[in-house]
Amino acid sequence: MKKDKLKIYVLELFLVLFLMGTLFSNRLLTNKIIISIFLVIYAFITKKSINSIKSISVREKEVRNYMIVFAIFYLIIYYLIGYYVGYYRATYQFGIWVLMHQIIPIILIIISSEILRKEFLSANNRTSLILTFAFGVLVDLVIYANIYSLNNLQGFLEAMGYVFFASIASNLLYNYVSINFGSRSNIIYRIIITIYLYIIPITPDVHIYFKSFARIVYPVIILLVLFDTYEDSIKALAIQNRKVKGVMTVLVMALIISFTMLISCKFKYGLIVVGSNSMLGALEKGDALLFDSKDTNVTEGQVILFKKDNIIVIHRIVRIEETNGVKKIYTKGDNNPQEDIGYITYDDLRGVAKLRIKKMGLPTIWINELF
């Protein structure tokens, strides 16, 4: 048994190092065919090398059906939201090239990675669990590679939310399911929630922050449902604190959702970080500013947000003039010696400043300065 554990450690460590190397090799990263073939061969070798005990959970089929329902429910809700926010043409349109270079390789990656997960977790110890967790996160990074650019702050934050943090949440679920109910449930669930991107020609125009939030929270919800349903020994103890935990969970979820809505800037109120000292005196670089995006009744002296040359500017209105029925808004930064060049119209407005939160946005400024 010790020899088998040692084999598992070596196989896991090598695979983790290989996948880490893949992330730094653009040629390998963009070729999912090579990665899928490697993982299939590696899974075959691993199964032959490890004498793991084959066990079948009596709940396996039941959990598999649960996972199918969870996956389909996720897609139904996602596309129903699109009915209200709109749709856009999917990045990948189904065809022979997409089938051969994306769909089939990704399915093979998912199947082989779940087989490997099951074999690795048979070691049944913390070291193997950590390495398996790292391996699962790296596989997700490979699958979703090249969706976001890491050369700018926006791409980095989107990749962190949509891929990295979501993968951490997902792999908590996958490890739990694999240990207790086998690998098939994970395989089916993962294929459904991944391959639709390459088959359905339209995608809901949901803001990336909401998609990231859903991808992080949904696996945790599934995990809690499965845990609550099947962990009978812990369930009895948990009943005493269920109400308190329920209230706390609702409060935390409400805070997360509210914050996500604010930073998405897609609703009445939004939250933005001040990126310069042009408004020094009223606002400082690193402050967070709560604004009302629906307020169009602006007057002289108000601090407003407007779009100019594809940049959101936060300056004060110095005067409003009307020429031939067109209202022209002239602005100036409090710390700038002169007015802004030209004028803006109401179409350029993005909101009116409502509340300053000092220094709250400094972490965003620090990260931005790294790029």
- Residues β-bridged to residue 315: 304
**Collapsed DSSP state (helix, strand, coil) of residue 305:** strand
Confidence of residue 238 (pLDDT cuts 50, 70, 90): very low
Which domains, and CATH codes, for the chain? Answer: 2-230 (no CATH), 269-368 (2.10.109.10)
Each residue's pLDDT tens digit, 246-265: 555 565 556 655 555 555 56
Within its chain, how far is the Cα of 282 from the centroid?
Answer: 34
At 62, give phi and psi (nearest 5°).
-65, -45
Please determine, for residue 73, whether its predicted confidence score (pLDDT) is greater than 90.
yes
Confidence of residue 160 (pLDDT cuts 50, 70, 90): low
Confidence of residue 229 (pLDDT cuts 50, 70, 90): confident
Mean pLDDT calculated for residue range 74-89: 88
DSSP per residue, 334-347: TTSSSPPSS-B-GG
Please determine, for residue 14, whether its predicted confidence score (pLDDT) is greater than 90.
no
CB atoms within 10 A of CB 323: 8
The reported pLDDT for the residue numbered 161 is 63
DSSP per residue, 10-30: HHHHHHHHHHHHHHT-HHHHT
List all residues 6 or more positions away from 142 whose beta carbon is below 8 Å from its beta carbon. 19, 22, 23, 29, 32, 35, 109
* DSSP letter, residue 144: T
Tokens of 150: 């890491």
Q: How far apart are the first and last CA of the chain?
A: 48
Within its chain, how far is the Cα of 123 from the centroid?
Answer: 30
pTM, whole model, 2 decimals? 0.67
Each residue's pLDDT tens digit, 340-371: 888 888 888 888 988 888 887 777 666 566 55
Tracing tokens 């050369």 back to the chain, one arrives at 151
Mean pLDDT calculated for residue range 33-42: 89
Please determine, for residue 240, whether its predicted confidence score (pLDDT) is greater than 70.
no
**What average pLDDT is seen over the chain?**
80
**Collapsed DSSP state (helix, strand, coil) of residue 258:** helix
The burial class, CB within 10 Å (0-12 / 13-18 / 19+), for 83 is exposed
**Collapsed DSSP state (helix, strand, coil) of residue 280:** coil
319/164 Cα distance (integer angstroms) = 47
Which residue pairs, CB below 8 angstroms and at least 24 apart, start in 316-319? 316/279, 316/282
The reported pLDDT for the residue numbered 263 is 55
